[in-house]
Amino acid sequence: MNVYTRYGDRGFTRLVGGGRAKKNAPRVQAYGSIDTLNAQVGLTAASLAEKDSLYDELVQVQQWIFDCGSDFATPEEKRPYKVHAQTIIWLEEKIDFYWEESPEIDRFILPGGTITAANLHLCRCFTREAERKAVELLEYDEAFNEEALKFLNRLSDYFFALARWVNGQEKQPEIFYENSSSVFKRKK
């Protein structure tokens, strides 16, 4: 089997279920952005020691990101969707844990800190970009897994909370955005 098919030479790609789409179609843009995100998460995980528990967690998140991309490549549920509510619940539990275990803040911070935290902030940005591309499908009334869109929304919060937690674990102070007003409140 060859990795190239020549099908894309005319600007088309195949979707799950056999349909075809232009490579710049909103659906292809969405799952292409999700693929870019997954590569950034892979880079972040690769920078960690394989014995680090965060490595295993990020590899699991990559599996779910791949599922998410697969779901966006599947119009009209041509096969059962892979992203489910349980994954979103897992993300929410992790977000709450990392947020509660991080130093309290009440305003915006600059992305950065340790190399790992800076990479996680990039993951957050790539997630938001993928989410924006996915939301475009709403404008075209295209069918997609709504849980996958929720997953992207929570995933960006996960990367933000995790980046802050990583900085806190390394005693790396965060740099506050100078012109920020108060925005964050702790849940009670």
Q: What is the pLDDT of residues 15-73, one digit of tens each?
A: 766 677 666 788 899 999 999 999 999 999 999 987 788 999 999 999 999 999 999 99
Kindly state whether residue 10 falls inside one of the protein's structural domains.
Answer: no
Q: What average pLDDT does the segment 120-134 reach?
A: 97
Q: ∠131-3-83 over CA atoms, to 5°?
A: 30
Q: What is the domain range of residue 130? A: 18-169
Kindly state whether residue 64 falls inside one of the protein's structural domains.
Answer: yes
Q: Report pLDDT digits (tens) over 59-113.
A: 999 999 999 999 999 887 778 999 999 999 999 999 999 999 999 999 999 999 9
Q: CB of 47 within 8 A of CB of 89?
A: no
Kindly state whether residue 84 falls inside one of the protein's structural domains.
Answer: yes
pLDDT for res 16: 66
Kindly state whether residue 29 falls inside one of the protein's structural domains.
Answer: yes
Kindly state whether residue 132 falls inside one of the protein's structural domains.
Answer: yes
Kindly state whether residue 174 falls inside one of the protein's structural domains.
Answer: no
Q: ∠127-132-135 over CA atoms, to 5°?
A: 120
Lookup result for tokens 């869109």:
149
Kindly state whether residue 114 falls inside one of the protein's structural domains.
Answer: yes
Q: What average pLDDT does the segment 143-161 reach?
A: 96
pLDDT for res 41: 98
Q: Quick one: the chain helix, strand, coil %, rounded to 5? A: 60, 5, 35
Kindly state whether residue 55 falls inside one of the protein's structural domains.
Answer: yes
Burial class of residue 171 in the structure, from the number of CB atoms within 10 Å of its CB (0-12 exposed, 13-18 middle, 19+ buried): exposed
Using 50, 70 and 90 to split pLDDT, how confident is the model at 158? very high
Could you give the number of structural domains in the chain?
1
Q: CB of 83 within 8 A of CB of 68?
A: yes
Q: What is the CATH number of the domain that holds 83?
A: 1.20.1200.10
Burial class of residue 160 in the structure, from the number of CB atoms within 10 Å of its CB (0-12 exposed, 13-18 middle, 19+ buried): buried
